C-alpha cells in the first residue's frame, strides 16, 4: 500500500488520529504524513471531517428522511444542474444520482417532521424538472458511515491466554 | 479409593500463565496485552455459513479426516501459499484445533524414552504435551541476538541431534519472530543430517507482515519428514470454533488418524462448515485484519523505541517480545498490573530463552494500545 493510501486508510477509520500516531502506525515520519494529508485535501480526495453521530441520543432528536426523486431532463438541463440546485439547500445532507427506479437519492435533515415535509413540498417538489418525490422518514439507524450502533462486539476473551 | 495422579501427569506442572490470569482477574479495569487470541469476531460470511449449517441440521459426525470439501480447500490453499502439494484424501487431517494435531503427532511418533527438541520460547502446550506422551524434552532456546530465529548453532549447542522430533513454530508465539526460506535452510539441513522428524506449527502463517511466509516442509528433502500444522483460530479469528489441521505424508496422517478416530472421531462439524466458507470467501477479511495488526505492530514498536525499551522487529503473529526493563520479568509484570492496570505476560512462562522479556499482544484496538503505552510510559517514569 502506498503511504498516501495508508494515511487515507487510517483517517477513514478515525479522522481524529493524531499526525504522530498515524506516523507510528504507517512507519512514516510526521512530515510525510502531513504532506500526504495536504495532498489528499488539495486534490479533493478528502472533502471533510465529520463526527458520526447517533441522532437517537441527541436531544432534541432531528428528523431525517431519505427521499427518492424522479426528474425529467431537457436540452438545457442535465442531472448536474438539478443536483447543483438541490445541494445548495442546507437541509440536504446527502445527494446521489443512482441507478434503478428513480434518479436521485437524497437525504434530508430537519428539526421536525413538518419542517421536513414543508421543505419537500415547498422547495423540492416545485423544481420544474422534478416529476416525483417519495419521502421515507428514517425510523431507526443501525449503522452510519461504517459504524455500527449496536452494543458492539463485547470483548469476552479471557484477560490472559496462551 | 483416591484420585491419585498418574506419574505422567505429575511430570506436567500447572501452566505458568494461569497465575497471571488469576492476578489479572482480580481487577476489572485492566487493559490486557496478555491475550493470545484475535480481538476480531470471525468474518461474518463464515459465521453465517455455520448458522446455515445448523439451520439445515448438518450436525452429524463427518469423516474422521474431516469433510472432503474442506480437505480439498486446505490442500489448494497450501499449494497456493507455500508451493507444497498434499493429497486431500491421504495427506490432510482436520483436527480440533492445532493443539490436537500436535498431541496426535506426539502420541503417534514418540515412544517413552524418545526425546523431542523444542525451539523455545514457545506456545505453552508443546513441552507438557511431549511429557504426557512419555517423551523427554530437549530445550532449544532461541536468542534475542538472532531475533529469536532458530539457528543451527543453538540446535547443535542444545543437543537437539539426539531427538526424534524437532518442534518449531514460525511466525512465533510468544516472540513474533518469523523465518524466511533461507533462514530455514540450515534448520532443514540439521534435520536431514540427524534424521529428525519435524513438527512445524504454522498457525500464524497468514499473519506475516514482512516478506512471505515460508514452510520448512517446502525445502528439499523435508516434505517426507515434516508434519505441517495450521488452523483457523488466528487468521480467521475462529479460536473458540476449535479447528486446525495437519498435513504430512500418507503414513503419518494414517497413524495420526488412528488415534484421532478413537479419541475425537471427527473435528466439530459446525466449525468445518464455517472453515469451508472461510477459505472460499474470507480472504478480504483476513487481509483487512492483517493490515490492522500491522498498523498496531508498527505503532507498538515505535512507542517502545521512544521509551527506550529494546525490542527486535517482530514481523509476525500479533506479539512483540521486548526486553523487560527490570531483571525480574514476573515482578515487573505484577507491578505494572498493580500500578497501571496493564497486563503483559512475563517471557519465562514460554520456556527457555524467554527470561528477561515480556510478551506484549497487540490483539487489542489501537486506542486501547495507545492508552496502555501511555500507562507503561508513566510507569517507567
Percentage of chain A surpassing pLDDT 90? Answer: 91
Q: Quick one: A32 and A69 in the same domain?
A: no
What's the domain range around A17?
3-42
The mean-pLDDT minimum among A130-139, B7-16, B278-287, B322-331 falls in B7-16
A94 to chain B nearest CA, in Å?
A: 28
Beta bridge partners of B138: B117
- Report the helix count and the strand count for chain A, using DSSP H and E: 5, 6
How far apart, in whole angstroms, are the C-alpha atoms of residue B133 and residue B128? 9
Residue A7: inside a domain: yes
Indicate yes or no: CB of B125 within 8 angstroms of CB of A162: yes
Whether residue B145 is predicted with pLDDT greater than 70 in this model: the reply is yes
Q: Is residue A154 very low, low, confident or very high in pLDDT (cuts 50, 70, 90)?
A: confident
* pLDDT digit string, tens, across residues A98-151: 999 999 999 999 999 999 999 999 999 999 999 999 999 999 999 999 899 987
**Which residues of A fall within a CB distance of 8 Å from B34?**
159-161
Q: Do B295 and A1 touch (CB under 8 A)?
A: no
Whether A112 and A79 share a structural domain: yes
- For chain A, the distance separating the N- and C-terminal CA atoms, rounded to the nearest angstrom, is 32
ipTM score of the complex? 0.85
Helix, coil or strand: residue B13: coil
Same domain (yes/no): A34, A67: no
Residue B12 contacts residue B132 (beta carbons within 8 Å) = yes
Whether chain B has a CB inside 8 Å of the CB on A88: the answer is: no
A33 and A66, same domain (yes or no): no
Q: Are residues A87 and A134 in the same domain?
A: yes
Query: Residues 274..333 of B with a Cβ closer than 8 Å to A: which?
Result: 291, 295-296, 298-299, 302-303
Three-class SS of residue B181? Answer: helix
To the nearest whole angstrom, how far is the Cα of A138 from the nearest Cα of chain B? 26
> Based on the structure, what is the number of domains in chain A?
2
**CA–CA distances in Å: residue B183 to residues B186, B214, B215:** 7, 10, 11
Domain-located, residue A150: no
Domain CATH number, residue A87: 3.30.70.920
Question: Is B306 a residue whose pLDDT tops 80?
Answer: yes
Q: In CATH, which of 3.90.1150.10, 3.30.300.10, 3.40.50.2000, 2.40.128.110 is domain B7-42+284-380?
A: 3.90.1150.10
Peptide bond preceding B258 in cis form (omega within 30 of 0): no
Paired strand residues for A118? none
- Each residue of B319-351: pLDDT tens digit? 999 999 999 999 999 999 999 999 999 999 999
* Short-list A57, A113, A107, CA closest to A86: A107
Please report the pLDDT score of residue A153 as a whole number: 62
Identity of the residue in B30, B35, B370 whose CB atom sits nearest the CB atom of A161 = B35
CA-wise closest residue to B353 among B153, B213, B190, B144: B144
B358 bridge partner residues: B346
Q: Who contacts A150 (Cβ-Cβ below 8 Å, separation ≥6)?
A: A142
Q: Are residues A91 and A120 in the same domain?
A: yes
Contact call for residues A127 and A111 (beta carbons, < 8 A): no
**Domain presence at residue A148:** no
> Alpha-carbon distance B117 to B130, whole Å?
10
Whether residue A15 lies inside any domain: the answer is yes
User: In this structure, how many other beta carbons lie within 10 angstroms of the beta carbon of residue B34?
Assistant: 29
Size of interface A-B (CB pairs under 8 A): 61
Tell whether A16 is covered by a domain.
Answer: yes
Q: Is the pLDDT of residue B207 over 70?
A: yes
Give kind and range of the element (H or E) at residue B165.
strand B165-169
Q: Sort strands A143-144 and A147-148 into parallel, antiparallel or unpaired.
A: antiparallel
Residues A62 and A17 in one domain: no
Work out the average pLDDT over B14-40.
91
Mutation site, B122, B175, B298, B337, interface A, largest A CB count within 10 A: B298
Which CATH class, in words, describes the domain spanning B45-281?
A: alpha beta
Amino acid at each position: 500500500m502506498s503511504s498516501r493510501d495508508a494515511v487515507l486508510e487510517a483517517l477513514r477509520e478515525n479522522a481524529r488520529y493524531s499526525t504522530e500516531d498515524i506516523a507510528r502506525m504507517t512507519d512514516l515520519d510526521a512530515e510525510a504524513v502531513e504532506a500526504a494529508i495536504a495532498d489528499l485535501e488539495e486534490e479533493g480526495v478528502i472533502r471533510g471531517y465529520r463526527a458520526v453521530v447517533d441522532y437517537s441520543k441527541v436531544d432534541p432528536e432531528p428528523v431525517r428522511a431519505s427521499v427518492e426523486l424522479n426528474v425529467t431532463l431537457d436540452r438545457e438541463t442535465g442531472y448536474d444542474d438539478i443536483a447543483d440546485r438541490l445541494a445548495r439547500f442546507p437541509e440536504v445532507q446527502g445527494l446521489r444520482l443512482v441507478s434503478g427506479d428513480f434518479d436521485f437519492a437524497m437525504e434530508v435533515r430537519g428539526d421536525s417532521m413538518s419542517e421536513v415535509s414543508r421543505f419537500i413540498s415547498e422547495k423540492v417538489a416545485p423544481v420544474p424538472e422534478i416529476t416525483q418525490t417519495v419521502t421515507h422518514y428514517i425510523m431507526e439507524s443501525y449503522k452510519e458511515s461504517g459504524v455500527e450502533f449496536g452494543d458492539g462486539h463485547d470483548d469476552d476473551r479471557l484477560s490472559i491466554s496462551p | 479409593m483416591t484420585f491419585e495422579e498418574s506419574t505422567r501427569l505429575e511430570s506436567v506442572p500447572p501452566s505458568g500463565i494461569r497465575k497471571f490470569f488469576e492476578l489479572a482477574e482480580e481487577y476489572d479495569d485492566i487493559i490486557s496485552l496478555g491475550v493470545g487470541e484475535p480481538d476480531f469476531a470471525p468474518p461474518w460470511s463464515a459465521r453465517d455459513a455455520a448458522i446455515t449449517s445448523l439451520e439445515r441440521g448438518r450436525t452429524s459426525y463427518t469423516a474422521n479426516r474431516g469433510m472432503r470439501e474442506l480437505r480439498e480447500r486446505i490442500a489448494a490453499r497450501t499449494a497456493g501459499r507455500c508451493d507444497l502439494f498434499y493429497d486431500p484424501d491421504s495427506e490432510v487431517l482436520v483436527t480440533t484445533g492445532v493443539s490436537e494435531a500436535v498431541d496426535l503427532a506426539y502420541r503417534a511418533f514418540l515412544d517413552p524414552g524418545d526425546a523431542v527438541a523444542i525451539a523455545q520460547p514457545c506456545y505453552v502446550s508443546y513441552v507438557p504435551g511431549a511429557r504426557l506422551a512419555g517423551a523427554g524434552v530437549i530445550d532449544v532456546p532461541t536468542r534475542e541476538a538472532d531475533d529469536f530465529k532458530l539457528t543451527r548453532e543453538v540446535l547443535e549447542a542444545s543437543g537437539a541431534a539426539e531427538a526424534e522430533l524437532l518442534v518449531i513454530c514460525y511466525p512465533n508465539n510468544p516472540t513474533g519472530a518469523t523465518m524466511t526460506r533461507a533462514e530455514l535452510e540450515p534448520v532443514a539441513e540439521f534435520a536431514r543430517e540427524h534424521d529428525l522428524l519435524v513438527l512445524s506449527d504454522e498457525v500464524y502463517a497468514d499473519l506475516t507482515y514482512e516478506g512471505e511466509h515460508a514452510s520448512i516442509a517446502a525445502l528439499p528433502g523435508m516434505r517426507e519428514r515434516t508434519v505441517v500444522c495450521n488452523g483457523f483460530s488466528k487468521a480467521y479469528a475462529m479460536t473458540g470454533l476449535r479447528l486446525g489441521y495437519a498435513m504430512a505424508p500418507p503414513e503419518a496422517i494414517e497413524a495420526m488418524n488412528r488415534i484421532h478416530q478413537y479419541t475425537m472421531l471427527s473435528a466439530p462439524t459446525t466449525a468445518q462448515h464455517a472453515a469451508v466458507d472461510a477459505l472460499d470467501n474470507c480472504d478480504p477479511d483476513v487481509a483487512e485484519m492483517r493490515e490492522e495488526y500491522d498498523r498496531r505492530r508498527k505503532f507498538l514498536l515505535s512507542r517502545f523505541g521512544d521509551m527506550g525499551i529494546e525490542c527486535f522487529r517482530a514481523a509476525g503473529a500479533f506479539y512483540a517480545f521486548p526486553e523487560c526493563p527490570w531483571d525480574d520479568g514476573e515482578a515487573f509484570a505484577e507491578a505494572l498490573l498493580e500500578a497501571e492496570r496493564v497486563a503483559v505476560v512475563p517471557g519465562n512462562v514460554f520456556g527457555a530463552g524467554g527470561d528477561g522479556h515480556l510478551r506484549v499482544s497487540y490483539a487489542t484496538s489501537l486506542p486501547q494500545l495507545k492508552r496502555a503505552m501511555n500507562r507503561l510510559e508513566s510507569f517507567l517514569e
